[in-house]
Every structure is written in structure tokens, then in C-alpha cells.
Amino acid sequence: MTANKMWGGRFETGPAAIMREITPSIDFDKRLAGEDLAGSRAHVRMLAQEGIVAKEDASAILKGLDQVEREITDGAFVFKRELEDIHLNIEARLAEIVGPAAGRLHTARSRNDQVVTDFRLWVRGACERADKGLLELSRALLTQAETHVASIMPGYTHMQPAQPVTFGHHLMAYVEMFARDRGRFEDARKRLNESPLGAAALAGTSFPIDRDVTAKTLGFARPMRNSMDAISARDFALEYLAACAIAAVNLSRLAGELVQWSTPAFGFVKLSDAFTTGSSIMPQKRNPDAAELIRGKTGRVLGDFIALATVVKGLVLTYGTDLQEDKERVFDAADTLEISLAAMAAMVADLTADTARMRAAAEPGFPTATDLADWVVRVLKKPFREAHHIAGSIVKRAEEKGVTLDKLPLAEMQAIEPAITDKVLDVLSLEASVHSRMSLGGTAPDRVKEQIHFWKEKLK
């Protein structure tokens, strides 16, 4: 096999067959075609502006790039593995279209700064897509929360019934969580939004280029200030993957609750046929496959972060072909997160809550015991530790009688604490408990309405 003419006369013989398999990245980096074309257009326009390339050559190159883009869009472009990557594939086709002038496009540029520019552009777009997906999910949660502002359900600690809350309040916790995820993608986007184009191989270039122009053209905030850092840095990809990993973990928590809530043992929600499947042998089954897949895919995204961190951790400055391993991990995490967000948003919008089952599940376990202790502190002026002991003793008596706290006869409570009056009954129902939690961020319906109003305005 003859040497690859795109990277020239240094080698007299072609690579071995194994190298032909291990070296190409075109199978996955062809996803960077749009970014590569954008970077090339910005670069050649700047070269013409600075008089480094003749305007007629730049015009021919730009027209050729337009044709390449049309061919890729129409599916007519032939990606060749022997040309290794998206950059050489586009450059080779450009040469076929416009002739020798195509070679001027690579003036004052290296594949090193070219690829990392493409990659930063792609990850910037991925941050924006993740933000959009999280926004749609948050809006779906808001809609359900608004419907269930006062729908009572058990709140748990240690998976034991703890205190009654509302379903709306529970869902709003995820709105807060996913807002932080959006913030992480926003932060990652801001930090990565610097242009490496013009760093060339690693040391910059002797041509009088204007890096501010190309940065502005490509929507970057500024050029990167150190050419070696520009070529070698992949922390922008790691930060994006870290944001993906945390978002996937948060999605997994919600998915796990949907799996749990949709079981017959809970019966809190019903997922429609669109997001469940049956069993090949058990006709009664309704399996929450979409939620389970979202929960399971978390491992992929976490693995993508670990894989790239492992690649980067031992690399000296600046470029090593190891960095070719960065894109598949990022592409995989992006694909996984984006489909998971879309599925979760649709599933949340589609679910039906069984409010009667939720309320019934909130009754066992004496969830208003804390309300009883708080009443003893507030009305009888007892220290909380003493009140805690009194409430615990009353809970034990109710358990012996097989009744809930609000159904325990007043005389039974007074046998434990004589100062208790019938006014205590005002705080022992589930509704009273929920409505009393008026502290900022609490589960009282009025407070939940405040949270919903805040986020509806913020997410417009």
C-alpha cells in the first residue's frame, strides 16, 4: 500500500494492516463535519482578510466547502477510512472540487488546533441540548406539581414513613435538582467557550493571523491565551461529562422512584402503555422499562467520565493520539443523556397519580408524631427532648390500640401527659400536618404554590 499522501513523504511505505484498523477515527468523528466546515470557513475568511491567502483562492475554497456540506447533508459524501478522520476526508474532497487552491486552507493551521476547535464547538452545542432537555423535564414536573399541590403522600427517611408531604412538594424537589444540573452545563459552556484555533500544532504560527476574528466568527468569547494549553486541554470535555454524570444520577433517582411507585405494592402512579411493556410469559405484567433503562444507562455515563479521565490523567503536554479516544466517550454520554431526558420528560408528563393510594400509604407509621411533639413544646412549653419522650409514649399506646394518633382517645394521651387538651387533635391529621409546614421551602400547599410560581417565572 502506498503512503497516505495527505500526510506526505516522511514515510516510504504504508502502515501495516493493524494500523489501518486502529488509526482511523472517521467512523465516529464524522459527527464533527458541521463544526469542521464552520471552523474552516472562519479560518479561510480570516486568512483572506489578513492577505495570507488570495481572495480568489478563499472564494473558491468557500464555494467548495459549501458543496461538501451539501453532499454530506444529502448523504452523497463518501467517507473514506484510509483518510483517517473527518478533517482529511473533507480536505481531500475539497481538493477534488477546487484543485490545488484547496491546499491553502491549511495555512497557519494544524490538525491539532483544528480538531480541538471542532470538538469545543460540538461540546458547546451538547451543553445547550442538555440544558434544553432539562428545561423540558422541569416544565413537565411543574405541570404535575401544580396539579398535586395538596395531594398527600408519605415522605420517607430510611425508606420508613417519616412525615406526610404533598406529591407536588416531592416533585418540586426534582425541579430544584435539575435546575442545578442546568447550572453545571451553563458553567461548563462558559468555561469551554474559548477558541483554540490558531494555536497550530502547539507553538502558534509565524503567519500574521488574527485569532480574535476567528474566535468571534465561531461564537467564542475569546481566543485561548496559551497555545500549548489550547492543544492539550480536555478538561472542558471532562467537565461536560461530569455534568452529564451528575444529571444522569439525578435522573436515575427519579427513575427509581417511578419504578417503585408503579409497583402494585405502592400503586402511587400509573405509567401508560407508551412507557411500559408486558412479559413474554406473565400476562398480568406491566414493566416500567423506560424508567429502568434510564436508571441503567447511568452506568454508561459514569463510565464515559471515568474512561476519559483515565486517558487524560497521564498525558504530558501537548498532543498525543491518545486524545483520539475523547470523542466516542463524549458522543456516547451525550446520546445517552439526551434520550434519557427526552424519555423522562415524556414519561412524567404522561403519568397518572393515584392520590387515594398515596394518602392511604401516608397513614401507617404514625407520621404525625413530630406534630404531636411540636404541639407539646409550643403549647405545654416542654423542652423538646421531654416532648419527644411524651410523643413516643403516646405513639406506643396508639400502636397497642391499633389506631392512628388522631383516633387515639384523648384520655389515653392524658394518662401519659395530663396537661394535654383536646386542642392537640387539631394537629394530628395528615391534612393538618401538611398545612402546618409553612416554613420557607416547606410542604404546606401555600408554600408549594410559591415554589411553583417562582420556577414558572424562571423557566419562561
**DSSP per-residue string spanning 144-186:** HHHHTTT-EEEEEETTEEEEEEEHHHHHHHHHHHHHHHHHHHH
Q: What DSSP assignment string belongs to 287-337?
A: B-HHHHHHHHHHHHHHHHHHHHHHHHTTPPSS--GGGGGHHHHHHHHHHHH
Burial class (CB in 10 A: 0-12, 13-18, 19+), 212: middle
Q: How far apart are CA 37 and CA 25, in angstroms?
A: 17
CA distance 428 to 419: 17
Which residues are known catalytic residues?
158, 279
120: amino acid identity, one letter:
R
- Which residues touch 332 (CB under 8 Å, ≥6 apart)? 300, 304
Task: Find the distance separating the first CA and the last CA of the chain, reported in whole Å.
Answer: 60
The Cα 387–Cα 380 span in angstroms is: 9
Residues in the chain: 460
- Residue that is written with C-alpha cell 401538611 in the block: 434
DSSP codes joined into one string, 323-375: GGGHHHHHHHHHHHHHHHHHHHHHHHHH-EE-HHHHHHHHSTT-TTHHHHHHH
Question: Number of C-alpha atoms within 13 angstroms, CB side, residue 163?
Answer: 19
DSSP secondary structure, 185-201, as one string: HHHHHHHH-EE-TT-TT
